[in-house]
Amino acid sequence: MANNFQRREIGKGIYFSRITDPRFKLNLISVRFLAPVSEEAAPENAVVSRIITKACSKYPSFAALNNKLSALYAARIDAHVSKVGDAQSIGITVSCIDNKYALENEKVNEEATDILISCLFDPLLENGVFPEKTVSLEKQSLIDDIEAELNDKQVYASQRAAEVMYRDEPAAIRSLGNAEQVKRITPESAYNAYKRLLNNCRIEIICVGCSDFESSRKKLTEAFARLERKEIFACGSKASPLKNSVAEVTDRLAVAQSKMVLGFKTDCENIPALQMMSAIYGGTTTSKLFMNVREKLSLCYYCWSSINRTKGSLSVSIGVENENIEKAKNEILAQLEAMKNGDFSDEDIEYARMYRRNHLKTFNDSLASLEAWYFTGIYNDDIKAPEEAVVDDDKVTREQIIQAARSVKLDTVYILTSEEEK
């Protein structure tokens, strides 16, 4: 496999992966906790990730921690929370320059690993739980981020569409929860959530950069060995079943431009063919949706399709004027029928290959994107380098693309439009 990918289990439900690439001068160490998505735990986990990356017992303030990171040639420690299928990923990452580029032979990678371990295993506590002031500040920060998502109507429409498309499934729950749930978090509940992350979650440690990460592996293995891990949460995902009838939901808010999301379900197991189909259908500026719905008929402002391989779904998102909603929906479905009938050219296939090839190359452009690529592969049990995915795309045939299109069936129609006139 390219990028010298290696993976091993270093503890109960704890996995260590490394991708060594000499093109980078930096190193990144990511620790991801995988937890089942739930309305109560999702915001607690998100708050915890923010708390433990702001301070620890060794560096008991944000200023002290930041000063130490700055001294390590502007090293960084960050938290990130996302949803992958029916699971929530709570990630803590540290990034730094490699030791060979330190001016005075400092062991930067080792020190950065020590900081990560301190934040994970020795957080700043007050009376045995997280400090009340810290919890309050991070709760407000999380609420601000949730409200920012709600104010972005394109993001809001995507989230609401997901709630409808995956109704009664964990994937319907927002990765950050909602503001009311965040307000109910206490220092005690946040600390209990922190203990659950360490003791009950599947843990994926992914290291990317020019280092061999052997010293980091030893330090992290020793640190995690101190945990008493017993029951490990199951965090797999199931493909979302097709509804018996199409779910149609309309929300009305004060918006200048309507949004529409069409959600489709698919049981296609040929992921490269499905990705190629989506690229031809609505994934590029030469796609059928872009060229027909947007350019030729001027029915929308933007229009694209995307695949959620973990849940077996395809979504089409558009920005549209109120009077064009029905026309746009009909044309989107008509273009899908054209795909099913093989109404696309060899040139369309080649454009899609070129787009996919260039898109896959971008994952090698940064440590974070390469870490995210391999995490997705690990979660879906389909580990391959981006270069290998390019080879898979090149093998996809016209007939396989048609079969992938025929597997796509309408499941959900979500519309966000303006308030009715009184």
At 422, is the pLDDT very low, low, confident or very high (cuts 50, 70, 90)?
very low
The DSSP bridge pattern shows strands 302-308 and 87-97 to be: unpaired
Start-to-end CA span in the chain (Å): 62
Q: Which tokens belong to 330?
A: 């009909």
Q: How far apart are CA 97 and CA 91, in angstroms?
A: 20
Helix (H) or strand (E) holding 334: helix 325-340
Contact 277, 266 (CB under 8 A): no
pLDDT at residue number 3: 53
Same fold yes or no, 2-224 and 247-418: yes
Contact 316, 157 (CB under 8 A): no
The structural domains of the chain, with segments of one domain joined by +, span 2-224, 247-418
State yes or no: pLDDT of 133 exceeds 60.
Answer: yes
Annotation: CATH topology of 2-224:
Cytochrome Bc1 Complex; Chain A, domain 1 (3.30.830)
Q: How far apart are CA 297 and CA 313, in angstroms?
A: 26
In sequence order, the β-bridge partners of residue 27 are: 96, 209
pLDDT at residue number 70: 97
State yes or no: pLDDT of 2 exceeds 70.
Answer: no
pLDDT in tens, 270-327: 999 999 999 999 999 999 999 999 999 999 999 999 999 999 999 999 999 999 999 9
Contact 55, 122 (CB under 8 A): no
pLDDT in tens, 222-271: 999 999 998 999 988 999 999 999 999 999 998 989 999 999 999 999 99
Question: 247-418 domain in CATH 3.30.830.10?
Answer: yes
Contact 378, 412 (CB under 8 A): no
State yes or no: pLDDT of 421 exceeds 70.
Answer: no
